[in-house]
Structure formats: C-alpha cells, structure tokens
C-alpha cells in the first residue's frame, strides 16, 4: 500500500479536539484501519491534498466522470470537529444504509465510507434517486482501505473535446 508519490497530504485547519485512535474506535464501534491513520498528518488532523485527486471506483455511480473516475477531496481526521471521523459519523449514522463509518468526502456532501461488516470502501451518494438511506445510495469503490489508498491518482484536466460538448449558446431576455 502506498500513496502515489505525486500526491502530498496537506493538513486542514486545526480541530478543537483530536482523539486517540482507540478513543475514536470506541465511539464509532469499529477498528480504524492503521493505513488511514498513517496517511493523516502526525497529529491526526483531517487532511486534503496538494492537487486534485481522483479514484476509479469498482462500481459506477452518478458522479463518475467520462474518465471513469471521481474526486476525493478530504480525508477525515481523528477529531470531533469539522472533517473528523467522529463528527461525520454522528452527523451521518442515521442517514446511511447499514453500518458505515465515513472516512473521506468529495466536497459535494457525499462520503467515502467503510462498511463495518465487509471492510469494503463504499461511496455514499446523498442525492440518490432512491433516497440517501437506501442501499442503492452505496456503491463499491474498493475492497479495502489499502486498495482505496493505492487507487488515489492525480486528477486529470478535462480535454478540449469534453469542454466543447454541451450547451453552445445561451440567451437571456430580460
């Protein structure tokens, strides 16, 4: 397991309360993968990246782009504040189907979660047509946290063909 060498972890602003890995595990009721903890800054704070980062999920979801990848924005830290595993778990536990622990997001209100039974990393789409609490709102990203980390890739810039598709002209009459 290794993070792509072009991708660097960037700490987010300091949280009020960072907990130990053991304290987080007691609150959320699942072993937090050591591979996630090692990826975070040494103080356990939430982190972002030095560039756009994407992953190619094993199952497509509505946010997968034409390149079959989707954005990963933030890795949740060991805290109770913004972007902390504990605060995200408490915020989302009654909204996500099954027993899932949020570990990251895409900055659009969706989350990457670990299924507590299978240990798979899933993507939770909060605007799923079947409802955010339905099983259909979850799709497989990777079979483990280690595979998730290995799958993080530098983002690609859209090519000129993609930018030229779609709406050609808009007219507003007031």
For domain 9-156, which architecture applies?
3-Layer(aba) Sandwich (3.40)
For the chain, the average pLDDT equals 89
For range 52-75, the mean pLDDT: 94
For range 55-70, the mean pLDDT: 93
Per-residue pLDDT for 79 more than 70?
A: yes
Residue burial 121-145, b: 16+ Cβ < 10 Å; e: rest: bbbbbeebeeebeeeebbbbbbebb
Phi, psi of 28 (to 5 degrees): -90, -15
Domain locations along the chain: 9-156
């Amino acid at each position: 397991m290794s993070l792509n060498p072009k991708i660097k972890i960037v700490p987010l602003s300091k949280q009020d309360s960072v907990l130990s890995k053991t304290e987080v595990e007691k609150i959320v009721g699942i072993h937090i993968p050591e591979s996630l903890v090692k990826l975070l800054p040494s103080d356990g704070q939430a982190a972002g990246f030095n560039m756009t980062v994407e992953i190619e999920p094993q199952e497509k979801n509505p946010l997968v782009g034409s390149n079959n990848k989707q954005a990963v924005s933030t890795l949740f830290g060991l805290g109770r504040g913004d972007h902390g595993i504990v605060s995200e778990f408490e915020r989302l536990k009654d909204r996500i189907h099954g027993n899932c622990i949020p570990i990251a997001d895409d900055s659009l209100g969706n989350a990457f979660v670990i299924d507590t039974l299978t240990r798979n990393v899933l993507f939770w789409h909060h605007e799923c047509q079947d409802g955010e609490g339905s099983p259909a709102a979850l799709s497989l990203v990777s079979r483990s946290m280690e595979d998730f980390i290995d799958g993080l890739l530098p983002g690609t810039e859209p090519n000129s063909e993609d930018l030229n598709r779609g709406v050609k002209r808009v007219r507003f009459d007031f």
